[in-house]
Amino acid sequence: MTPALDASVQVRSAPPVLSVRNLHAHLHLGDTVVRAVDGVSFDLPAGATLSIVGESGCGKSMTALAILGLLPQPAGRITEGEVWLDGVGDLARLDQRALRRVRGNAVSMVFQDPMTSLNPVFRVGWQIAEAIRMHETVSREEARRRAIELLELVGIPSPSVRCDAFPHQLSGGMRQRVMIAIALARRPKVMLADEPTTALDVTIQAQVLRLMKRLQQDSGAALLLITHDLGVVAQMAQRVCVMYAGVIVEESAVGDLFADPLHPYTRGLLASMPKPRHGAARQALISIPGTVPPLSRLPAGCRFAGRCAHVFSKCREAEPPLVPVAGDLGPGARKVRCWLHVGSEAA
């Protein structure tokens, strides 16, 4: 597994097309407040791939839904923060009507499960064409022609025939390709992909990832990739944010993260990856002890303190800030949220 480093230098200096600043997205369930996203900030440069990685329930998908204004209603809301999209403005301040003009146009999303994302009663070609006609004044015939072109672009055989298929008549890999075609219909500046290969077998996963990488390079779109799979991160991203219990605990170039993880949680994630077997010896899987704290009852100090082997008294008293590591400054700086790495000037 070799991290994707070839484009990191070029994209590091590219201007951000998406900037998320101090984003708080909470779920209000009666008297309970679930702090699903609790102060997240990052920049996504034009043409780059940034990955958000972490365990299930850490807030990855909620971050993407908050960016697009798709938080579950009526419970979900952005309580604080900004989401700046180049050429559009702060998405967090737009009403739903304005957001509908942005979604599928300047920014689009590939969801985790295409079977539940595609409408089962409409043909896939119609659904692609509808994504075009929502933002352009074109005839049905022209929209259908472009839908067929998009199906061909994403590698679906016999696209003029498959255009008239219903979602249940396609394989899982083909359905995900249809979702990618819909996401690319308007050549967006930013694509969000939420666990795009989770429901696919290993061979189809590799095909879909290669397709997304090629299409991203051809279109120049920036990609925000949400995953729990560090192998996917190594293959696809130049930069990665590690998320835990609603906050980012480490941000780094992919190569630096794999070579020298700083946060104890990041080290635990890397250690838990299955290792190749050599000879007859079987290596036991390593797991991180404990469980993620409930997002409605977060501890007073570091959110990882209850699972950390390096915990000391300060960890249980105050939450550490996310700060650049010593000697690493500038827009591409490594950042970590851990008292082991926070100097006295940042504390």
pLDDT tens digits, residue range 264-280?
Answer: 999 999 998 877 666 55
CB 303 within 8 A of CB 279: no
Using 50, 70 and 90 to split pLDDT, how confident is the model at 115?
Answer: confident
Q: Is the pLDDT of residue 165 over 90?
A: yes
Q: What is the pTM of this model?
A: 0.90
Residues above pLDDT 70, as percent of the chain: 91
> How would you list the strands of the sheet with 76-85, edge to edge?
32-45, 16-29, 76-85, 89-90
Mean pLDDT of the chain: 90
Token pair of 236, please? Answer: 């696809």
Token pair of 199, please? Answer: 């429901």
In this prediction, residues 130-143 reach a mean pLDDT of 93
Q: Which helix (H) or strand (E) holds 85?
A: strand 76-85
Half-sphere exposure of 73 (CA within 13 A, CB side): 3
Short-list 179, 72, 57, CA closest to 118: 179
Q: Which domains does the chain have, with CATH numbers?
A: 7-106+189-275 (3.40.50.300), 118-185 (no CATH)
Cα distances (angstroms) measured from residue 9 to each of 6, 87, 223, 253, 254? 7, 24, 17, 10, 12
